[in-house]
Structure 1
Amino acid sequence: MCGRYATTVDPGLLAVELDAIDETDPNEELKPEEAGPNFNVAPTTKVATVVKRHDRDAPDAEATLRVRRMRWGLVPHWTKAAEPGVPAKGKPLFNARADKAATTPAFRDALKFKRCLVPMDGWYEWITEPDSAGKAVKRPFYMTPADGSRIYMAGLWSVWRDGGSPLLSCTILTTDSVGELQRIHDRMPLIMPREHWAAWLDPDHPVDTGLLESPSAELVASLEIRPVSPKVNSVRNNSPDLVERAEQAEQSEQISLL
């Protein structure tokens, strides 16, 4: 499962790094956390994604990488409108099981030809366990590459239209957890290694089902499982200390109070 994550990369910088076209709209109205680094990304937030598409004016030309901003929480193209330009509310489709996406109505069309990557610094999960008084509490953990690099999750995307500007939205695929992550949660986001990007993003061919399997044990072993501050439990909190190891976060908070 992946219901909260952190990302600090600017879409323009991401496009330069990947030699991609930045298709984000500089005039788009964004919330502060959507416009800058976001250490507590929650569903319905607009996030940066990577797709590979053909140019509309040159459909026969080779498809190219493009960075697009999308709403996290997929809105299927067949969703009815609640009012002009506003899709009706439904289940918050921010995650999709990789093993069921091909047969799930909300995801099966996107799995065929609308696959994306969702870049992030890391993601959060919670363990519920008793405290010293025996009361159940949620303890957050942050999963991130130990070498400080960025990770890319396999996602699906959709375009919803109702006369006005199209609404682009995405979901993150999940698989059974691997290795040490199993003690945190039974599900994990599907990490897509760079060597599989071309096949995953290919807009002209159906997905290779092998890409939907859980990440390798070696890839998961390269992640750090870091206890973090319970401040992340509230989406109202959004600051760099959320991703710090719990002991460091507590020290930072004490210093800020001096």
Structure 2
Amino acid sequence: MCGRYALTSTADYVGEALGVLMSEGFPARYNIAPTQPILVVVAGDRQDRGSNLPDRRALLVRWGFTPAWVKDPKDFPLLINARSETAIGKASFRAAMRHRRILIPASGFYEWHRPPKESGEKSQAYWIRPRNGGVIAFAGLMETWSSADGSEVDTGAILTTAANRAIRHIHDRMPVVIKPEDFTRWLDCKTQEPREVLDLMAPVQEDFFEAIPVSDRVNKVANMGPDLQEPVEIETPVKPSKKPDTDNGQLSLL
């Protein structure tokens, strides 16, 4: 899963990386948590085709997906992630997979290695970032929930996939990363049906990310400084799995 991430680049850099015009700046965020507002990029509806930028726009949504048919969000679980292998058929995500696919810019994400309780070992947090730096784009889904009084809340979730060998020793899931050359196809919900973008939801290549052990300060939402990403020494580092992949990068729909 992905329960915390960061976006620390400037608005101009993010806009250039995702091909979207950013109307205003925003502060660096080192510990983005569920229920907080997150920046997302969606396909636009621009009529004027004279611009050199792709037809996209940026907006803020609440991290925690709420399907339109939910009557009271208090009685519904907080959906911060959606499994890419099953989202196409799940009642909660089916409509969003067809009509509201989004990109979620990030500088990286945090994950925890949690050993079995009987081992007596403590959990270890990792800051997982692209080796080459820069901004990446998670695949996401968006839904606008409307209350009985007519108020609306835009909500979103991050799609996850099976972790590759480089991350699997930490956690068995990781966010789906959409490559820049695939941004347009992922966001195009008018001509690209869900089954036609399934290939984009495979695990990213093995050497794309690097995992850095960090302190457990990231566990607390109140901690929001750059010190959260400072490396720490761990006594017994967990080594990446050497087991060969058996799925050949294919996604299961079951």
TM-score tier by shorter-chain length is 0.7 to 0.9
- Preserved contact between residue 110 and residue 125 of structure 2 (Cα < 8 Å): yes
Specify which of 161, 166, 169 is matched with residue 155 of structure 2: 169
Per-residue CA shift, 1:115-152, capped at 9, x if unaligned?
A: 00111111111112489xx6331110111011221111
Equivalent positions of 1:78-117 (< 5 A) are: 78-81=69-72, 87-117=73-103
Amino acid at match of 2:5: Y
Q: Percent identity?
A: 33
Partner of 1:200: 186
Deviation, 1:8, is 1.6
Pair 1:90–1:221, CA change in 2 (3 A): same
Task: Give the 3 Å change call, closer, same or farther, for CA 19–191 of structure 1 in structure 2.
Answer: closer
For structure 1, list consecutive stretches of 5 or more residues without a partner in the other structure: 27-34, 82-86, 248-258
Shift of 1:23: 6.7
1:99–1:212 Cα contact (<8 Å) kept:
no
Counterparts of 1:47-62 in structure 2 under 5 Å? Answer: 47-55=38-46, 58=47
TM-score scaled by length of structure 2: 0.80
Taking the aligned partners of 2:11 and 2:146, their CA distance within structure 1 comes to 24
Q: Distance in 2 between matches of 1:23 and 1:75?
A: 27
Which sits farther off after the overlay, 1-10 or 42-51? 1-10
Give 1:1-258 correspondences, 5 Å limit. Answer: 1-11=1-11, 14-15=14-15, 17-22=17-22, 36-55=27-46, 58=47, 64-81=55-72, 87-129=73-115, 135-162=120-147, 163-205=149-191, 206-207=193-194, 208-217=196-205, 220-247=206-233
SS state at 2:68 partner = coil
Deviations along 1:210-243, one digit per CA (max 9) or x if unpaired, are: 33542243xx312111111111122221110111
Judged with a 3 Å threshold, the aligned counterparts in structure 2 of structure 1 residues 173 and 13 are, in CA distance, closer, same or farther, namely: same
Between the aligned partners of 1:229 and 1:113, the Cα distance in structure 2 is 39
User: Do the aligned partners of 2:34 and 2:64 also contact (CA within 8 Å) in 1?
Assistant: yes
In the alignment, what sits opposite 1:251?
A: none
Q: Whole-Å Cα distance in 1 between the matches of residues 95 and 216 of structure 2?
A: 38
Q: Which has the higher helix share?
A: 1
Between the two proteins, the alignment pairs up a number of residues equal to 227
How far apart are residue 41 of structure 1 and its match? 0.9
Is the CA contact (8 Å cut-off) linking 1:11 and 1:67 kept in structure 2? no
Cα offset for 1:245? 1.4
Q: CA offsets, 1:32-61, max 9 Å, x none?
A: xxx622211111010101111214xx4999
> Separation in 2 of the partners of 1:65 and 1:234?
34
- Alpha-carbon offset, residue 19 of structure 1: 4.2
Change (3 A) 1:68 1:137: same
